[in-house]
Amino acid sequence: MVYPVRLYNIKGKRLLSSNYKYYVVDLGLRNILQTNNPISDLGHKLENVVYFELLRRGGEVFAGQTDNGEVDFVVMKPNGERAYYQVAYTANDEKTLKRELSSLKKIRDSYPKYLLTTDFETSNIEGIQRLNVIDWLLEVNN
């Protein structure tokens, strides 16, 4: 019912053994246990959905940690490829967009980086693909 996700130190390229994030299989159960309000905490609920989709698409999924920030997901594919994902319910205002992009911008490798939101805007911001999460979930070639 609950999936623990290990933290991956992006700069040091190693797993951290002491910290975990947790995602629940049933968001309805999470609603009941926490607030019983289906529209509260939509960003974390969306992050939960993205986590399970990343698992379905294959590879190992970790929560990423930088020197002074966090990346929601680091996906390690069996072929050695990796990708970074940041998830936000919305990033329409400049302050939120800057905050969501900041951790991804600090990663200095050439692997793909994505910001997934419910916003309709899609763009490439300094090599980071900003995508609508619904379009991403419905991709044919996933």
**What are the pLDDT digits (tens) for 31-85?**
555 665 556 678 788 998 999 999 999 999 999 887 778 899 999 998 889 999 9
Please enumerate in sequence order all residues whose Cβ is within 8 A of that of 12, keeping only pairs 6 or more positions apart, or say none. Answer: none
Among 48, 51, 65, 60, smallest CA distance to 8 is for 65
80-101 burial string, b = 16+ CB within 10 Å, else e? eebbbbbbbbebeeeeebeebb
Q: Average pLDDT, stretch 21-27? A: 73
**Between these two residues, 69 and 15, which has the higher pLDDT value?**
69
Please indicate whether residue 130 or residue 48 has the higher confidence score (pLDDT).
130
The CA distance from 142 to 136, in Å, is: 8
Question: pTM value?
Answer: 0.84
132-138 average pLDDT score:
96
Helix 42-57 and helix 27-34, axial crossing angle in degrees, nearest 10:
150
pLDDT in the model for residue 114: 98
